[in-house]
């Protein structure tokens, strides 16, 4: 959510910043801006909308200079407008600042600055930063001293980068909560809120820790705490992993990522690589053996993965298992102590709700395990143990491959926990065997693509769609409905099939299509009667079920024959495709849906 980029070196900063912003656009895309230092001036270009618009402005009026910062925004304080977009400056435009996160005491600071004659031009919380910096410089501090004073006075979570006309090629960056990394090149340095976005520029990076400041010039970087005490940091090496990999011949990243799933699952599941990663983690078995309850946490798609993981762990482990939305966890409604295992599922590893839930659990003595796609993310570094979903960069905001990769790790972890906690060994073996078939099943499900394309034409004109299922099929229905609403803006809701008649059925008529998921062999009969209830009310119903199953008056779309426990892998695929093709049919922006961001770093 919001992206920061910075460059100081021997080349022109503008193209590096604009390219960097394209890499970061997934973090927020309602406005963008850059500031470039040119001897006696800081020059700024800003635009609402996409980075492409900013790039056009830069093409018509290039900014020259070798040091600069940039930002792509997802509006929190103040609507998406040029005035609210970053960089923000002091009145004389000698200081420019970009900021991610939220300044919680911005109202007090704004008042203090206004009382001291400062005028504000935006509605943002971020604008207090350049003015406060200006105030401290005018009170006699140099750029660095004033920056340190400023960050000490800010409350909330933030990543900040700042340049100053009078400080040469210097960029100062600070982190409290929101991530920021420094990339070191030859005679050039990069700053970014995201490792991947600079991974094609350098393979040497420093991850800024909480309450740390980086002072960057083209030839060196120094680190300190907020009081200016020096900190020694060792760089990490990263593998080249350009974020801006092409969509590989697909029309959208989402479609490419849906098609990547069999390959990713093969590498995560065959040879039980993930399971051996988990087993080889020192002390893990020892740390979890006292566990008497497990909470699985996540947001959005990651929460849906956590729900399915919860079903698997309940099937395997003799302890209480509960999936909770991360944003609901820290309110004190759940019992957490040193016998609690908390499994946080997060693709980005940065989701604020998930991180604060993890923190809440850690403070109460729980063992925390992160399942994440992002090495060095806060979820990775702040958890007791972390396992990676290794599915490569997910560019589309609507998550697909990360979801099934999260399932793969959760199932493997479930088998591991079953063994550690004295669970049902026969069931563990059953799950393990079923997992071996998952890759082939997902591949077969992709064979439904043409059928989903045709079906999508039918849904594109709908106002509401209801998804129903029971148990893990309900979770799949929930994920299908989430995909549909995220990228088509059609109101799509999932209900546990049996619950539909207790209220929501009042909404069913001939204009409300129903999509059912029915993969559990013991539940086909119940599904049949629930489907009858909606069909008799005029609904057009479609059911995703295994080959050989039929339902009266309902179009059945047949999925590969599979064990019910692993059905969530292959049954979600046609629902992903259905949402994708409905979005295409409606002419929506598939990869960057309105109002959403790929990583949400505010609570």
Of residues 298 and 513, the one with the C-beta less far from ligand G6P: 298
Q: What are phi and psi of 5, to 5 degrees?
A: -135, 145
Q: Are 494 and 516 in contact (CB under 8 A)?
A: no
Strand partners, 97: 88, 162
Q: Are 44 and 71 in contact (CB under 8 A)?
A: no
Of residues 340 and 347, the one with the C-beta less far from ligand G6P: 347
* SS3 state at 516: strand
Structure tokens belonging to residue 382: 């702040």
Q: Residues near 318 by Cβ (< 8 Å), separated by ≥ 6? A: 421, 422, 423, 424
Q: Cβ of residue 107: shortest distance to ligand G6P, in angstroms?
A: 27
Among 47, 90, 146, 351, binds ligand G6P (CB under 6 A): 351
Q: What is the spatial distance between Cα 281 and Cα 115, in angstroms, rounded to a whole number?
A: 56
**598 in active site:** yes
Among 83, 325, 557, 596, binds ligand G6P (CB under 6 A): 596
Of residues 149 and 598, the one with the C-beta less far from ligand G6P: 598
Of residues 150 and 599, the one with the C-beta less far from ligand G6P: 599
Query: Which span (224-232, 414-422, 529-537, 592-600) binds ligand G6P, by CB under 6 A?
Result: 592-600
Q: Cβ of residue 486: shortest distance to ligand G6P, in angstroms?
A: 7
Per the listing, tokens 């930002």 go with 71
Site pattern 191..230 for ligand G6P (x: CB under 6 A): ----------------------------------------
Q: Cβ of residue 212: shortest distance to ligand G6P, in angstroms?
A: 23
Query: Which span (152-160, 162-170, 426-434, 591-599) binds ligand G6P, by CB under 6 A?
Result: 591-599
Among 347, 383, 400, 476, binds ligand G6P (CB under 6 A): 347
Query: Which span (57-65, 469-477, 512-520, 593-601) binds ligand G6P, by CB under 6 A?
Result: 593-601
Site pattern 445..474 for ligand G6P (x: CB under 6 A): ------------------------------
Count CB-CB contacts under 10 A for residue 198: 29
Number of residues that bind ligand G6P (CB under 6 A): 15
Of residues 291 and 346, the one with the C-beta less far from ligand G6P: 346
Q: What is the spatial distance between Cα 153 and Cα 329, in angstroms, rounded to a whole number?
A: 29
Of residues 327 and 571, the one with the C-beta less far from ligand G6P: 327
Residues present in the chain in total = 603
Q: From residue 499, how far is each of 73, 168, 279, 306 by CA, in Å? A: 40, 65, 40, 21
Of residues 137 and 578, the one with the C-beta less far from ligand G6P: 578
Q: Cβ of residue 33: shortest distance to ligand G6P, in angstroms?
A: 23
Query: Which span (86-94, 425-433, 438-446, 594-602) binds ligand G6P, by CB under 6 A?
Result: 594-602
Given the residues 43, 170, 201, 598, the one annotated as active site: 598
Residue number of the CB closest to ligand G6P reads: 300
Of residues 137 and 397, the one with the C-beta less far from ligand G6P: 397
Q: Cβ of residue 220: shortest distance to ligand G6P, in angstroms?
A: 33
Instruction: Name the DSSP letter for residue 209.
Output: P
Q: From residue 588, how far is each of 104, 230, 579, 598 by CA, in Å? A: 35, 50, 11, 17
Count CB-CB contacts under 10 A for residue 485: 18
Per the listing, tokens 């999509």 go with 515
Q: Cβ of residue 354: shortest distance to ligand G6P, in angstroms?
A: 5
Q: Cβ of residue 503: shortest distance to ligand G6P, in angstroms?
A: 27
Q: Cβ of residue 181: shortest distance to ligand G6P, in angstroms?
A: 17
Q: From residue 512, how far is each of 26, 313, 467 by CA, in Å? A: 33, 35, 10
CA angle, 74 then 77 then 81, to 5°: 65
Q: Cβ of residue 597: shortest distance to ligand G6P, in angstroms?
A: 6
Q: What is the spatial distance between Cα 22 and Cα 421, in angstroms, rounded to a whole number?
A: 47
DSSP element (H, E) containing 491: strand 491-496
Of residues 557 and 596, the one with the C-beta less far from ligand G6P: 596
Q: Are 71 and 2 in contact (CB under 8 A)?
A: yes
Q: What is the spatial distance between Cα 423 and Cα 117, in angstroms, rounded to a whole number?
A: 68
Q: Cβ of residue 307: shortest distance to ligand G6P, in angstroms?
A: 13
Of residues 112 and 489, the one with the C-beta less far from ligand G6P: 489
Site pattern 305..344 for ligand G6P (x: CB under 6 A): ----------------------------------------
Structure tokens belonging to residue 163: 């340049």
Structure tokens belonging to residue 337: 């102590």
Of residues 232 and 595, the one with the C-beta less far from ligand G6P: 595
CA 495 to the chain's CA centroid? 25
Of residues 2 and 299, the one with the C-beta less far from ligand G6P: 299
**588 in active site:** no
Q: Is 354 one of the binding residues for ligand G6P (CB under 6 A)? A: yes
Q: Are 179 and 205 in contact (CB under 8 A)?
A: no
Burial 131-170 (b: 16+ CB within 10 A, else e): bbbbbbbeeebebbebbbbbbebbebbbbbbbbbbebebb
Q: Cβ of residue 386: shortest distance to ligand G6P, in angstroms?
A: 13
Q: From residue 452, how far is each of 177, 466, 519 by CA, in Å? A: 42, 17, 18
Query: Which span (24-32, 80-88, 175-183, 346-354) binds ligand G6P, by CB under 6 A?
Result: 346-354
Among 346, 404, 530, 571, binds ligand G6P (CB under 6 A): 346
Given the residues 2, 58, 556, 588, the one annotated as active site: 2
Among 84, 439, 570, 599, binds ligand G6P (CB under 6 A): 599
Instruction: Name the DSSP letter for residue 564.
Output: G
Q: What is the spatial distance between Cα 46 and Cα 191, in angstroms, rounded to a whole number?
A: 19
Site pattern 387..416 for ligand G6P (x: CB under 6 A): ----------x-x-----------------
Q: Cβ of residue 351: shortest distance to ligand G6P, in angstroms?
A: 3
What residues between 276 and 305 interact with ligand G6P by CB under 6 A?
299-302
Q: From residue 211, how far is each of 134, 169, 342, 377 by CA, in Å? A: 21, 23, 26, 16
Which of 162, 144, 158 lies closest to 224 in space, CA to CA?
144
User: Known catalytic residues?
Assistant: 2, 598
Name the site residues for ligand G6P (rule: CB under 6 A): 299-302, 346-348, 351, 354, 397, 399, 596, 598-600
């Amino acid at each position: 959510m919001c992206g920061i980029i910075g460059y100081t070196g021997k080349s022109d900063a503008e193209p590096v910043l604009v390219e960097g912003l394209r890499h970061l656009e997934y973090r927020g895309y309602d406005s963008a801006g850059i500031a470039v230092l040119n001897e006696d001036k800081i020059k700024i270009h800003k635009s609402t909308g996409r980075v492409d618009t900013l790039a056009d402005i830069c093409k018509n009026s290039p900014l020259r200079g070798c040091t600069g910062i940039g930002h792509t925004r997802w509006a929190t304080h103040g609507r998406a407008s040029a005035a609210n977009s970053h960089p923000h400056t002091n009145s004389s435009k000698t200081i420019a600042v970009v900021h991610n996160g939220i300044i919680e005491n911005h109202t007090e600071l704004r008042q203090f600055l206004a009382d001291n004659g400062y005028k504000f031009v935006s509605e943002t919380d971020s604008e207090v930063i350049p003015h406060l910096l200006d105030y401290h410089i005018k009170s006699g501090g140099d750029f660095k001293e004033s920056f340190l004073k400023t960050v000490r006075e800010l409350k909330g979570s933030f990543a900040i980068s700042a340049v100053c006309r009078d400080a040469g090629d210097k960029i100062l960056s600070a982190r409290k909560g929101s991530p920021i990394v420094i990339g070191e090149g030859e005679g050039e340095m990069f700053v970014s809120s995201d490792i991947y976005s600079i991974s094609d520029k350098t393979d040497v990076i420093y991850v800024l820790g909480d309450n740390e400041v980086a002072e960057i010039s083209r030839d060196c970087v120094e680190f300190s705490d907020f009081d200016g005490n020096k900190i020694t940091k060792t760089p990490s090496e990263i593998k080249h992993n350009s974020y801006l990999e092409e969509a590989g011949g697909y029309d959208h990243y989402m479609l490419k990522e849906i098609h990547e799933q069999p390959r990713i699952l093969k590498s995560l599941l065959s040879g039980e690589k993930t399971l051996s990663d988990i087993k080889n983690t020192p002390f893990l078995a020892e740390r979890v053996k006292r566990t008497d309850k497990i909470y699985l946490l996540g947001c959005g798609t990651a929460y849906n993965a956590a729900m399915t993981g919860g079903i698997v762990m309940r099937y395997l482990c003799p302890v209480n298992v509960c999936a909770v939305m991360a944003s609901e966890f820290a309110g004190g409604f759940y019992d957490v102590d040193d016998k609690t295992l908390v499994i946080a599922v997060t693709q980005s590893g940065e989701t604020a709700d998930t991180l604060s839930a993890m923190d809440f659990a850690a403070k109460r003595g729980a063992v925390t395990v992160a399942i994440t796609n992002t090495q060095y993310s806060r979820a990775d570094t702040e958890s007791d143990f972390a396992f990676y979903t290794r599915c490569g960069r997910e560019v589309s905001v609507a998550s697909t491959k990360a979801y099934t990769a999260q399932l793969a790790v959760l199932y493997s972890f479930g088998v591991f926990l079953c063994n550690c906690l004295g669970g049902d060994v026969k069931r563990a073996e059953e799950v393990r065997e079923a997992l071996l078939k998952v890759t082939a099943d997902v591949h077969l499900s992709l064979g439904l693509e043409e059928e989903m394309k045709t079906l999508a034409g039918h849904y594109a004109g709908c106002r509401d769609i209801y998804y129903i299922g029971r148990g893990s099929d309900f979770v799949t229905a929930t994920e299908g409905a989430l995909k549909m609403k995220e990228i088509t803006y059609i109101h799509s809701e999932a209900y546990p099939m049996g619950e539909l008649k207790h209220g929501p059925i009042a909404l069913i008529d001939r204009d409300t299509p129903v999509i059912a998921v029915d993969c559990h062999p013991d539940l086909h009969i119940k599904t049949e009667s629930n489907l009858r209830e909606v069909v008799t009310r005029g609904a057009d119903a479609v059911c995703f079920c295994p080959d050989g199953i039929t339902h009266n008056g309902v179009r059945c779309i047949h999925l590969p024959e599979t064990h019910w426990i692993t059905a969530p892998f292959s049954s979600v695929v046609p629902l992903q495709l259905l949402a994708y093709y409905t979005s295409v049919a409606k002419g929506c922006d598939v990869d960057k849906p309105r109002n959403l961001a790929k990583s949400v770093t505010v609570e």
